[in-house]
């Protein structure tokens, strides 16, 4: 009898040797005459346990991890194909609190199914949302998405249903669905994990979006640094065409949707939706002034829906289980679930999909297990490089868009980067400003010039040259950037800078004064 094993092909698992482990298992099985099938699935999102190996047994999947090549022989001798004891045995992952306490809606299949098999996708409730959508009028699909309360997961949290309604109502023989898979924020990896672990759910979500607004062509704009996601998408798209899920006769309905992947060249600003459109059109990625909104005049001037990977991948379950089912998760105006990503100095880094409403503290300690170094957590940056640095006194803030806005923070993508008490927050403030200077598209002055001057001013504050005056100047500059920038790169960079200044003022007076010549001026 064939025994099925699962070894993740997710980039996080490959980085710690999963490929070698999978090969060693296959070789050992051949050597000992064991009949095994190794499925290369996505990651379950518990990175400290990778490379993780799961064995399908009559009692369910039994996990072992982290497994190294040197463990493989011992695992076979111990009888791991029957789920036997071994020092790396973890048991059923569903019994581990980190996993058991999650509410996996969008990531329901990630780490479970074979991302290269559309049959596996179908047998785990895949395509049910699409089948329902095919029987619905476009306006009813849009209504379901609106009623679910789904807001964009790419940062701005704009209600998806309102955007879709705008595109539906816009006149145009050709409309487009664009998936923003640029995922440039520090500490984020949920888009990548989803595309590598369950690419079909994104494809299904994009087809539903096409049916909803009358678009027949979709593009996934993928950052070029994601080769494994690219492979997974290419394979899934080919198999979706072969199975008439994509193309001119979606599941025999006579309706059409085509889908292509386009690789970005790696600029952070190309994640901003209008720069992304310029880049997709073959131009240098630069921010466009709005209006017009992309939903009215987007790609090649046509009505275009641009949504983040997780936003689109959340749509199939809404259509399948109903708007109310999805809406019942969450708090306030933040409905559904958010795949949170724990990164930086954290013991248990990985992905936690939870309904909105748990606190940052629960996430950091109950899931994350505190810092990796064992030292106190001093600060976290939530929401990527444009998110505020939050001190311990704000760790009880619930994961909710409005609650974060109230403390001048931002949930953004749900990426959380953790720092222990050895961090220098003045250097972090400088880093935030420097990041903006490097990544600015250069279109508007407050961002292009302001961020460069901002780095210089922070250097002067740290070096104690006219500290009080330069601190006033920095606040003034930040005010100009917030109010005068064309897009959120320049407009939000002041938040991490000012939060560091506000919550960690002692770090701005740490270093000994430098000669002005070292700073390049006064």
Q: Is 485 in the site for ligand FMN (CB under 6 A)?
A: no
Q: Specify the stretch interacting with ligand FMN by CB under 6 A; choose among 149-157, 247-255, 336-344, 451-459.
A: 149-157
Tokens 């807001």, residue located: 151
280: left (phi over 0), alpha (psi -120 to 50) or beta: alpha
Tell me whether residue 433 or residue 487 sits nearer to ligand FMN (CB atom).
487
Least distance from ligand SF4 to the Cβ atom of residue 438, Å: 11
Task: Confirm or reject binding of residue 295 to ligand FMN (CB under 6 A).
Answer: no
Q: In angstroms, what CA-CA distances link 353 with 105, 112, 328, 368, 419?
A: 8, 15, 15, 13, 22
Partner that binds at residue 156, options ligand FMN, ligand SF4, none, CB closer than 5 to 8 Å by kind? ligand FMN
Two tokens, residue 48:
């400290």
Nearest alpha carbon to residue 404 among 334, 328, 349: 334
Residues 6+ apart with CB under 8 A from 72: 21, 24, 25, 28
- Two structure tokens written together for 199: 């690419």
| Residue closer to ligand FMN (CB basis): 148 or 470 | 148
**Cα gap 38→3, rounded to integer Å:** 8
| Residue closer to ligand FMN (CB basis): 64 or 221 | 221
> Of ligand FMN, ligand SF4, none, which one sits near residue 297, judging by CB under 5 to 8 A according to partner kind?
none
Distance in Å, CB of 519 to ligand SF4, minimum: 24
Provide the b/e sequence for 150-161 (b: ≥16 CB within 10 Å).
Answer: bbbbbbebebbb
Instruction: Pick the closest to residue 311 from 271, 339, 342 (CA basis).
Output: 339
Question: Minimum distance between the CB of residue 306 and ligand FMN, rounded to whole angstroms?
Answer: 5
Nearest residue to ligand FMN by CB is 152
- Shortest approach of ligand SF4 to residue 444 CB, angstroms? 3
When CB distances are held under 5 to 8 angstroms depending on the partner's kind, the choice from ligand SF4, ligand FMN, none that residue 218 binds is: none
Least separation in angstroms between CB 424 and ligand SF4: 26
Q: Return the number of the residue (31 or 284) whose C-beta is nearest ligand FMN.
A: 284
| Element at 11 (helix H, strand E) | helix 11-14
Instruction: Work out how close the CB of 484 gets to ligand SF4 at its nearest, in angstroms, rounded to a whole number.
Output: 9
> Residue 335 Cβ, how far from ligand FMN at the closest point, in Å?
14
∠ CA 417-7-339, rounded to 5°:
30
Residue carrying the six token digits 């990548």: 192
Q: Give the residues lining the site for ligand SF4 (CB under 6 A).
A: 269, 287, 440-444, 447-448, 485-487, 489-490
Does residue 405 touch ligand FMN according to CB under 6 A? no
Closest approach of ligand SF4 to the CB of residue 432, in Å: 14
Label each residue of 179-200 as H, E or C.
EEECCCCCCCCHHHHHHHHCHH
Burial class (CB in 10 A: 0-12, 13-18, 19+), 468: exposed
- Find which of ligand FMN, ligand SF4, none residue 153 binds, CB within 5 to 8 Å per kind: ligand FMN
Q: 441 is in the binding site of which of ligand FMN, ligand SF4, none (Cβ under 5 to 8 A by kind)? A: ligand SF4
**Interaction between residue 156 and ligand FMN (CB under 6 A):** yes
Binding of residue 153 to ligand FMN (CB under 6 A):
yes
Convert 29-40 to b/e letters by CB count within 10 Å (16 or more is b): beeeeeebebbb
* Rounded to 5°, angle at Cα 197 from 350 and 217: 125
Q: Which does 443 bind (CB under 5 to 8 A by kind): ligand SF4, ligand FMN, none?
A: ligand SF4
Q: Considering the rule CB under 6 A, would residue 132 count as an interface residue with ligand FMN?
A: no
Q: Which of positions 245-284 make contact with ligand FMN (CB under 6 A)? A: 268-269, 271-273
Nearer to ligand FMN (CB atom), residue 180 or residue 480: 180
- Whole-number Å distance between alpha carbons of 75 and 191: 33
x/- map, 177-216, ligand FMN, by CB under 6 A = ---x-xxx--------------------------------
- Residue 53 or 259: the one with the smaller Cβ distance to ligand FMN is 259
Q: Find where tokens 């997961």 sit.
A: 153
**β-bridge partners, 223:** 264
Which residues make up the interface to ligand FMN (CB under 6 A)? 152-156, 158, 180, 182-184, 268-269, 271-273, 306-308, 311, 487-489
């Amino acid at each position: 009898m064939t025994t099925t094993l699962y070894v993740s092909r997710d980039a996080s698992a490959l980085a710690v040797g999963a490929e070698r482990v999978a090969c060693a298992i296959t070789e050992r099985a051949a050597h000992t005459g064991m009949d095994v099938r190794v499925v290369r699935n996505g990651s379950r999102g518990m990175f400290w346990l990778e490379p993780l190996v799961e064995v399908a047994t009559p009692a369910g999947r039994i996990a072992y991890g982290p497994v190294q090549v040197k463990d493989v022989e011992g695992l076979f001798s111990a009888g791991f194909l029957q789920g036997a004891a071994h020092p790396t045995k973890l048991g059923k992952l569903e019994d581990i609190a980190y996993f058991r306490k999650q509410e996996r809606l969008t990531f329901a299949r990630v780490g479970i199914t074979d991302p290269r098999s559309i049959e596996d996708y179908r047998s785990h409730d895949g395509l049910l949302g699409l089948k329902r959508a095919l029987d619905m009028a476009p306006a009813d699909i849009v209504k379901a998405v609106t009623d679910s309360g789904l807001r964009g997961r790419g940062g701005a949290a704009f209600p998806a249903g309102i955007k879709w309604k705008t595109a539906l109502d816009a006149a145009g023989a050709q409309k487009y669905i664009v998936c923003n898979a640029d995922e440039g924020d520090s500490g984020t990896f949920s888009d990548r994990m989803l595309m590598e672990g369950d690419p079909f759910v994104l494809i299904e979500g994009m087809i539903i979006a096409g049916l909803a607004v009358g678009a027949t062509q979709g593009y996934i704009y993928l950052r070029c640094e994601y080769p494994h996601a690219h492979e997974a998408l290419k394979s899934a798209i080919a198999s979706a065409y072969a199975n008439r899920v994509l193309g001119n006769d979606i599941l025999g309905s006579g309706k059409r949707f085509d889908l292509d992947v386009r690789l970005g060249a790696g600029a952070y600003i190309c994640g901003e939706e209008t720069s992304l459109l310029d880049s997709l059109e073959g131009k240098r990625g630069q921010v466009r002034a709005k209006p017009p909104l992309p939903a009215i005049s987007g790609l090649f001037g046509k009505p275009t829906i641009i949504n983040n990977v997780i936003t689109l991948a959340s749509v199939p379950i809404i259509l399948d289980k109903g708007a109310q089912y999805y809406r019942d998760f969450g708090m306030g105006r933040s409905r559904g679930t958010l795949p949170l990503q724990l990164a930086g100095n954290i013991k248990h880094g990985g992905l936690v999909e939870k309904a909105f409403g748990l606190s940052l503290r629960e996430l950091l300690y109950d899931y994350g297990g505190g810092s990796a170094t064992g030292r106190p957590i001093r600060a976290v940056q939530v929401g990527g490089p444009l998110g505020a640095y939050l001190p311990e006194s704000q760790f009880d803030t619930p994961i909710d868009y409005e609650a974060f806005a109230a403390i001048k923070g931002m949930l953004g993508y749900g990426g959380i980067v953790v720092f222990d008490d050895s961090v220098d927050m003045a250097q972090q403030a400088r880093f935030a400003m420097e990041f903006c200077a490097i990544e600015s598209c250069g279109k508007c002055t407050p961002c292009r010039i302001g961020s460069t001057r901002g780095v210089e001013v922070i250097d002067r504050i740290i070096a104690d040259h006219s500290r009080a005056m330069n601190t006033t100047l920095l606040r003034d500059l930040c005010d100009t950037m917030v109010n005068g920038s064309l897009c959120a790169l320049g407009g939000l960079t002041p938040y991490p800078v000012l939060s560091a200044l506000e919550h960690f003022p002692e770090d701005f007076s740490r270093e000994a004064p430098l000669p002005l010549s070292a700073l390049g001026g006064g």
